[in-house]
Amino acid sequence: MATLTRVAESPGQGGRGASAFWGGPRHVVIRAYTFDFDNSYPTGGEDISGIFNDFATGGLLQILTNGAQADATNGRFVKVDYTNKKLMLYTALGTQATDTSDQSAITGVRLIAIGYPA
């Protein structure tokens, strides 16, 4: 099973001080996550709705990845599908990884989410 984990040292998680915030009527938080793919990649991407659940519906949400170098040794790249709340995996040739393929060698993909807390 693919695994999404909020990094304990994320701002606002008790490891590194308060959530980041600036101006306006609401504060903006920054949270870090890691993602480990598994041995059965589903067509359309892996579910990352847990990140979306941590943030307000309809509010600002930007998810940054280290996707350009997600795992250069395996020639894979990641992309966030905001509409379907998925993390998609592509080959260096720009095609999505095939359904039920083993992508378990790709672990520790870092995701940084910036938005209004739920």
49-81 per-position pLDDT tens digit: 988 888 877 667 888 876 544 445 567 888 889
Cα torsion at 100, 51, 34, 74 (round to 10°)? Answer: 40
Tell me how far apart the terminal alpha carbons of the chain are, to the nearest angstrom. 26
| Pair 53, 107: CB distance under 8 Å | no
What is the domain partition of the chain in residue ranges? 3-8+25-109
Burial of 95 (0-12, 13-18, 19+ CB in 10 A): exposed
| Pair 112, 35: CB distance under 8 Å | no
| Pair 105, 71: CB distance under 8 Å | yes
Q: Is the pLDDT of residue 2 over 90?
A: no
10-34 per-position pLDDT tens digit: 655 544 444 555 556 667 788 888 8
